[in-house]
Amino acid sequence: MAETNWAIRGEYMESCNCDYLCPCVYTNPQGPVTYDNCTAVLVFRIDDGNFGPTRLDGCKFAFVLRSGKVMADGNWIFAVVVDETADPAQRAALAKLAGGEAGGTPGLIRTNLVSDFRGVEYTPIEFEMAGLTRRAAAPGVFAFEIDGVASRNRSGEPFFIDNTAHPANRRLSLARAKEMHVHGFGLDLDLAGQGNNGHFAPFAWSAKRLDLAALPRLAPRQLAAALPDRALATEAAHMLTIMAFVDGSLDEAKIERVLDYAVALGVDEPYIQEITEAAHGHVQVALADMTRRNLESITGRPWLQDDAMGWFLPYRGDHADPVLAARYRALGSLPAGTLGHAYWEQYRRNGYAFPGEATALNEAFATPHDCTHVLSGYDTTPRGELLVSTFTAAMHPSRPMEGHILPVIFSWHLGIKINDVAGSAVGALDPREFWHAWARGAAVSEDLFAPRWDFWGCVGESVAALRERYSIPPLAE
């Protein structure tokens, strides 16, 4: 964590050697770059900012980097340029901040993506803005000029791309380069008249130490007043509910407190009734409702039957389907690395019965569930089962809390067996990875539990290609 509180905001511009539009941006950045690597320069002008007591208004810095074929894979060459016109205190602050030593966004980049840090150089940085044109230069290191791609609908404005994973801003102006030159830190690049990629946008970063003990405690009404947006109120109720179970116990006082907040937030979803029943000692009632809600989420229709196990285990007795089972077993003949082979290998390794065999789970659940294991990268340990269901809840947001999250918390963290299909364990909830799994699932572009998803149409495709197509974020971030 950063030892010094800092916050900066201002304007940024960049250019890279990728063709317009850079595939890193619209694949967040899981897709391959245009050429063998991406050489990029990102330049920042601080309009308002501080590093501890040191004011940084008017200061400039730049990142010079080169990635491999896929930016998200890391192994970047990375270097920093600091404007030498800054005073000594500002230069020292900017070197720490931009070099990643002070946390925040640069710290995340340095920690997670950089394998070859080539240091900090001090040289004057030019940063010019005129209409949709942006120009930046640091003598002897880099120079580029980009023009915003003008919108035909709104005069004087560029086209934008929104909801990106770019570190400067999620909303970027689109631009094309007139020229780009890099000659520093062992990198050499000269492009002119090729219209390669560019972007510009405002930016705002910070790294402030948070003293949790000093935070004021918000009463339910205060929290509700601070979260008038329905979506935020719903998310807050989700977080409060999950945190009530982190210590691995059914704590009536904690659950009652969650209920107080849920009432104030105006959240009255089925999972609230489930935790209410559990807090009052009616655990089996809560578990039965979780099973019903899980089936509603999977099937996409109200569940009005009593025999949930009959649905989960449809091949028992004389209902085995040897033709279906043979089709699944044949997936083992597909090339290694394909979805079908990975699915087969997971079943072989764990000793699972294939759909169609007498003891197997219904393929309507087992196939999307186990493909989610394969594509998300979560294993089949209790921890992995909890995380894959969390990933699923965000990917397939139908009854997410009552149908996916609470059942696995009760099963794999509290050690409460929910039904004859689900296992149970104690202590599998990893709070940090839980929220990571939730965020990863929310980023996915294809819902594997949706009726339109075609498993058999994908079995011959590589797992890597499907992860890229479905925009599945990497497991380690």
Q: What is the DSSP string of 227-281?
A: --SHHHHHHHHHHHHHHTTTTSS--HHHHHHHHHHHHHHT---HHHHHHHHHHTT
Q: What is the mean pLDDT of residues 237-247?
A: 95
Residue 1: pLDDT over 50: no
Whether residue 376 contacts residue 395, with contact meaning beta carbons closer than 8 Å, is answered with no
| 50-67 per-position pLDDT tens digit | 999 999 999 999 999 999
Q: Which token pair is 34?
A: 């245009």
Quick one: 300 and 172 in the same domain? no
**Residue at which a domain ends, from 157, 180, 205:** 205
Quick one: 132 and 279 in the same domain? no
**Residue at which a domain ends, from 169, 190, 205:** 205
Say which range, 112-121, 156-165, 307-316, has the weakest mean pLDDT: 156-165
CATH of the domain at 136: 2.40.400
Q: What is the pLDDT of residue 154?
A: 65
Quick one: 200 and 287 in the same domain? no
What pTM was computed for the model?
A: 0.60
Q: What is the mean pLDDT of residues 273-281?
A: 95
**Residue at which a domain ends, from 182, 205, 228:** 205
| 174-213 per-position pLDDT tens digit | 999 999 999 999 999 999 988 999 999 999 999 876 666 7
Residue 26 falls within a domain, yes or no?
Answer: yes
Domain that holds residue 181: 6-205
Q: What is the pLDDT of residue 450?
A: 96
Q: Which token pair is 311?
A: 């649905």
Quick one: 191 and 286 in the same domain? no
Give residue 329's identity as a one-letter amino acid code: R
Quick one: 200 and 297 in the same domain? no
The mean pLDDT of the chain is: 93
Q: What is the pLDDT of residue 423?
A: 84
Whether residue 1 contacts residue 29, with contact meaning beta carbons closer than 8 Å, is answered with no
Whether residue 290 contacts residue 422, with contact meaning beta carbons closer than 8 Å, is answered with no
Residue 85 falls within a domain, yes or no?
Answer: yes
Q: What is the pLDDT of residue 281?
A: 94
Contacts 24+ apart (CB under 8 A), 214-223: 220/260, 220/261, 220/263, 220/264, 220/265, 221/264, 223/261, 223/264, 223/265
Partner residues linked to 48 by β-bridges? 9
Q: What is the mean pLDDT of residues 355-359?
A: 97
> Could you tell me the sign of the dihedral formed by the alpha carbons of 283, 285, 288, 293, in that order?
negative
Residue 260 falls within a domain, yes or no?
Answer: no
Residue 475 falls within a domain, yes or no?
Answer: no
Residue 241 falls within a domain, yes or no?
Answer: no
What percentage of the chain carries pLDDT values higher than 70? 97
Say which range, 117-126, 204-213, 253-262, 428-437, has the weakest mean pLDDT: 204-213
| 453-474 per-position pLDDT tens digit | 999 999 999 999 999 999 999 8
Residue 211 falls within a domain, yes or no?
Answer: no
The tokens 């205190």 sit on which residue?
89
Q: Which token pair is 140?
A: 């002897």
Q: What is the pLDDT of residue 95?
A: 97
| 307-318 per-position pLDDT tens digit | 899 999 999 999
- Cβ-based neighbours of 74, under 8 Å, separated by 6 or more: 67, 112, 113, 114, 115
Of 436, 413, 437, 433, give the one whose Cα is nearest residue 425: 413
Residue 412: pLDDT over 60: yes
Residue 288: pLDDT over 90: yes
Q: What is the pLDDT of residue 120?
A: 97
Say which range, 138-147, 161-170, 375-384, has the weakest mean pLDDT: 161-170
Taking the C-alpha atoms of residue 255 and residue 276, their distance in angstroms, rounded to an integer, is: 7
Residue 237 falls within a domain, yes or no?
Answer: no
Quick one: 190 and 292 in the same domain? no
Whether residue 382 contacts residue 417, with contact meaning beta carbons closer than 8 Å, is answered with no
Q: What is the pLDDT of residue 155?
A: 65
Q: What is the pLDDT of residue 212?
A: 64
Q: What is the pLDDT of residue 476?
A: 64
Say which range, 19-23, 45-49, 109-113, 214-218, has the weakest mean pLDDT: 214-218
Whether residue 81 contacts residue 61, with contact meaning beta carbons closer than 8 Å, is answered with yes
**Counting beta carbons within 10 angstroms of the beta carbon of residue 415, is it exposed (0 to 12), middle (13 to 18) or buried (19 or more)?**
middle
Q: What is the pLDDT of residue 27?
A: 83
Domain count, the chain: 2
Quick one: 154 and 47 in the same domain? yes
Q: How far is CA 53 from CA 4, 11, 33, 49, 92, in A?
A: 9, 22, 40, 10, 13
Of 24, 26, 63, give the one whose Cα is nearest residue 205: 63
Q: What is the mean pLDDT of residues 246-254?
A: 94
Taking the C-alpha atoms of residue 287 and residue 271, their distance in angstroms, rounded to an integer, is: 11
Taking the C-alpha atoms of residue 107 and residue 96, their distance in angstroms, rounded to an integer, is: 10
| 344-356 per-position pLDDT tens digit | 999 999 999 999 9
| 92-109 per-position pLDDT tens digit | 999 999 999 999 999 999
Residue 322: pLDDT over 50: yes
Q: What is the pLDDT of residue 397?
A: 93
Residue 140 falls within a domain, yes or no?
Answer: yes
Q: What is the mean pLDDT of residues 146-165?
A: 85
Residue 24: pLDDT over 60: yes
Q: What is the pLDDT of residue 182?
A: 97
